[in-house]
Structure 1
């Protein structure tokens, strides 16, 4: 049985478009992708967390990310209930190769027209980003209300 979630995790995510497509990340050995970024630390702004995470993961220098949306997600991982709020930013990135600075992560650029063929987690975030790429409008996706 899954335990109760231990709180809501706040995660800063980046939509990094290049001339070749969208930058995605994954844990080595998995078959699914996610948007680069990471957890917001206590007393850290979401924008600062995104800048820090992209610097740590890829050595990218990011200035003035633009918030484009939010997606709430809940799931079970290793028997533990997780609940997260993903705050998503559009980020301008330099062209070139994206090389991971963290051994457990790898990065790849997926052509925009092929995004429907790859698994992006959370799925609701993948759908929201694909819609945003088609028509750049802010988005917000919340979990459906449940009865007590």
Structure 2
């Protein structure tokens, strides 16, 4: 059971995300019906450690057996999606994908699915081209190009 619920008209989600960087590119994902990109990952389940959730989600969605290097950010993210207000607590991990994996081909998109069957589109994006990319949370445009040396706590508030 995932740690996600609604209270007083606001959705709360506990999410773990992976920052996979390869040859000057970062792996991002998009759901076809949305025009924005985000880091791969997913909900943490009750009783599950966030780093274990990150490993599980990456395996389920991408087929990659990643190695976690370190936690980079803890983010309190407030946003609206499909007219619903969200509060997300996110743990962002720097991860290393296995060398030689076919998903490391920078020239090709690859595809996965959410547990509920929602199709996912994965693409490697150049780190030096993120400034103009529709990516959320928006701090990632600059943040991914200069990862902090130690864990950092951020609050991202995109609520109207």
Runs of 4+ deviating beyond 4 Å: none
User: Does structure 1 retain, via aligned residues, the 8 Å contact 2:18–2:41?
Assistant: yes
User: Does structure 1 retain, via aligned residues, the 8 Å contact 2:139–2:156?
Assistant: no
- Which protein, 1 or 2, shows the higher relative CO under an 8 Å CA cutoff with sep ≥ 6? 1
Contiguous gaps of at least 5 residues in structure 2: 1-7, 104-109
User: Does structure 2 retain, via aligned residues, the 8 Å contact 1:70–1:87?
Assistant: yes
**2-side partners of 1:106 and 1:32: how far apart?**
11
Which has the larger share of helix? 1
1:1-148 paired onto structure 2 within 5 Å: 4-6=9-11, 8-94=12-98, 95-98=100-103, 99-102=110-113, 104-132=119-147, 136-142=149-155
Measured on the aligned residues, the alpha-carbon RMSD in Å equals: 2.1
Residue 130 (structure 1) shift: 2.9
Q: TM-score, normalised by structure 1?
A: 0.82
Which has the larger share of strand? 2
Contiguous gaps of at least 5 residues in structure 1: none
User: Does structure 1 retain, via aligned residues, the 8 Å contact 2:58–2:64?
Assistant: yes
Residue 34 (structure 1) shift: 0.2
Residue 124 (structure 1) shift: 2.5
